[in-house]
Amino acid sequence: MASRVLLFALLALVLSQAIASDPSPLQDFCVADMNSPVFVNGLVCKNPNFTTPEDFFFKGLDQPGNTMNKLGFNANLVNATALPGLNTLGISLARLDFAPYGLNPPHTHPRATEVFTVVEGTFYVGFITSNPDNKLFSKVLNKGDVFVFPEGLIHFQFNIGKTSGFGISGLSSQNPGLITIANAVFKSNPPISDDILAKAFQLDKKIVDWIQTQL
């Protein structure tokens, strides 16, 4: 009986590592070598003998991003490319800035869960579950509130206040990825056929063409 328990425990440990979003480090750190021509799943490690404190340092997250755009939104992502010391650590973060009524539109991170913390402002946020339920989980957040968006699910953040706001998001991958739904569908390269989009969204082709010019 004890041997079976041990076997199941070992199996659970192996499987938990196998399904992790990012591989676990096999040494203290693996600072990304941005100059390496080698292509791997992730980034090549820099020789630790040439590693400096600057490899673990990023400056500027206190500065607001430019929100003078159609959405009134800006994201400053600190991933392993911006902060090489994050390589293989399975985390990244971002500063999200919003103009009044600014929107981070429906999007998904295919490789990461996101934890959003409000620093300033009032936000309406939410995520949608997968088919067939497509259930919306939403909440109004104020300063100091935290909300989590599960990995891979479509989610959004909307500043419902009359003043600018911002938050900090932690992500469970050094390279979380980003798919903005509207851009992916209506601005793909090469474009998806109008016939497909019109039928999928039950729209007239002229409306599809108009949407494509707005993105």
The pLDDT tens digits for 76-113 are 999 999 999 999 999 999 999 999 999 999 999 999 99
| Position 96 in a domain | yes
CA 192 centroid distance within chain: 24
Distance from C-alpha of 79 to C-alpha of 206, rounded to nearest angstrom: 40
Determine if residue 189 is labeled as part of a ligand binding site. no
| Position 65 in a domain | yes
Determine if residue 79 is labeled as part of a ligand binding site. no
| Position 197 in a domain | no
Determine if residue 107 is labeled as part of a ligand binding site. yes
Number of domains in the chain: 1
- Given a cut of 90, whether residue 71 has pLDDT beyond it is yes
| Position 200 in a domain | no
3-state secondary structure of 148: strand
- Given a cut of 60, whether residue 20 has pLDDT beyond it is no
| Mean pLDDT value of segment 128-136 | 97
pLDDT at 162: 94
- Token output for 156: 């959004």
Range of the domain at 86: 53-177
Rounded to the nearest integer, the mean pLDDT of the chain is 89
| Position 110 in a domain | yes
- Given a cut of 70, whether residue 2 has pLDDT beyond it is no
Q: Each residue of 184-208: pLDDT tens digit?
A: 999 999 999 999 999 999 999 999 9
Handedness of CA 7, 12, 18, 24 (dihedral sign): negative
| Position 158 in a domain | yes
- Which CATH number characterizes residue 168's domain? 2.60.120.10
- Given a cut of 80, whether residue 17 has pLDDT beyond it is no
| Position 128 in a domain | yes
| Position 2 in a domain | no
Distance from C-alpha of 208 to C-alpha of 93, rounded to nearest angstrom: 35
Q: What is the largest CA-CA distance in the chain?
A: 68
Determine if residue 54 is labeled as part of a ligand binding site. no
pLDDT at 14: 41
Determine if residue 109 is labeled as part of a ligand binding site. yes
CB 95 within 8 A of CB 61: yes
